[in-house]
Every structure is written in structure tokens, then in C-alpha cells.
Structure 1
């Protein structure tokens, strides 16, 4: 029982060495599919069905990533990101215009009634 109390295990200790070279850095970042943002755009901000299109491209990007096609996943993810940006900008602009018109209508009706 000289191997830590485990029976059937050899008394050999294995070590793993990692060599890190200064100045060289390899980053293999997987492409982003922006699925959460696309879901938000689809449910809450879907002007001109841009949220739906972004969700479709996000799902395509995730499928390409699972298959191992990094370039295809990066392309679909970039398209989904662009569609999400457009949907968010249009929705926020529309919401702000709605708030401004609502305030102006209430101010005008309040001044004529008083």
C-alpha cells in the first residue's frame, strides 16, 4: 500500500509539463453567435423582422460552430451581429420617438384644457 492506499494502481506518479514561450500567444477564440442578443431582438425588438433574421443567422452560426466550420460560423455570427445592431437601433429610436410624442401630446392637451 505504498501508492496512496489504492489497490491495483502502480506506484508511478505522472507529471504534465506545459511549456509557455514568451512573446508567442496563441488564442483560439471560438466565433460568437450572439444567440442571447438575437433572442432579445426577436422577442422585444423586432422591427421589420430583423430580430427573426438575426435569430436565424445566430442559429446557423451555432450550427457551423458545432460542425467545426469556423469561417462559416464567423460569417453567420457577424451577420447576426449586424442585424441585431440594426434591430436595436431602430427599436430604441422608435421607442424614444413614441415617448417624445406622448409627452408633447399630453403637454398640448393640458395647456388647452387649463
Structure 2
């Protein structure tokens, strides 16, 4: 059996001399996959380079909705897209911050005000 499913043993009823049929219940495990909503919210509020944070947030919410419905494949696809968008937003924003700091520092190093 896959790891995602937990198996309950036979249900035991009152003790009697007659043989009762047993029942096996297969319960799927809780779907625990990240949807990156917190990361997307942070990027949308603080590091929103070319609206990538907002788009990542939309995909994160769609991933959470798919997970609640039970569509694991769709949830994984939206979560993967949100993760890629978050990485891009983070990297591009950090690069832009470094470029602005370098330009600001070079402006004062030449003495031009």
C-alpha cells in the first residue's frame, strides 16, 4: 500500500461465540503539500517586482482551493507555478535593490549631488 493511505485493522465488536465478518477501512492520509501562500503574500507586499508577487499569490490561492476540493494534481501544478514565481520575484527584487544601492553609492562617490 502507498504511504498516503493508513489501514485500520478489523473492527472488534462484542465477544461472542459466533464468527462476525470483519471490515477493513482504507483512509487516505492528510494531504500535506505546501501552497506557498505566506511566501506569496510577503512577495506581494514587499518584493513585488513587475507584479510577480500578486501573480504568485493568485496561484497560491488557486492551489489551496484545489487542495480543499481534493484535486491533488491541479494543486501541485498551481503550487509549483507559485513557487517559481516567488523565486523569480525574490531574485529580481534583490538584484534591483543591489543595483539601486550601487547607483546610490556611486553617485556620492563621485561627489555629484
TM-score (norm 1): 0.71
Partner of 2:75: 73
> Does 2:22 correspond to 1:45?
no
> Does 2:64 correspond to 1:62?
yes
**Residue 36 of structure 1: which of 35, 38, 50 is its match?**
38
Which protein has the bigger helix share? 1
Measured in 1, the distance between the counterparts of 2:67 and 2:2 equals 23
Measured in 1, the distance between the counterparts of 2:61 and 2:102 equals 36
CA deviations 1:8-34 (Å, max 9, x no partner) are xxxxxxxxxxxxxxxx98256522100
Measured in 2, the distance between the counterparts of 1:67 and 1:95 equals 40
Q: How many residues get paired?
A: 88
Higher radius of gyration, 1 or 2:
1
**Residue 99 of structure 1: which of 85, 98, 101 is its match?**
101
> Does 2:3 correspond to 1:26?
yes
Which protein has the bigger strand share? 2
For structure 1, the residue ranges without an aligned partner over 5 or more in a row are 1-23
Measured in 2, the distance between the counterparts of 1:25 and 1:60 equals 27
Structural RMSD (CA): 2.0
Runs of 4+ aligned structure 1 residues displaced above 3 Å come to none
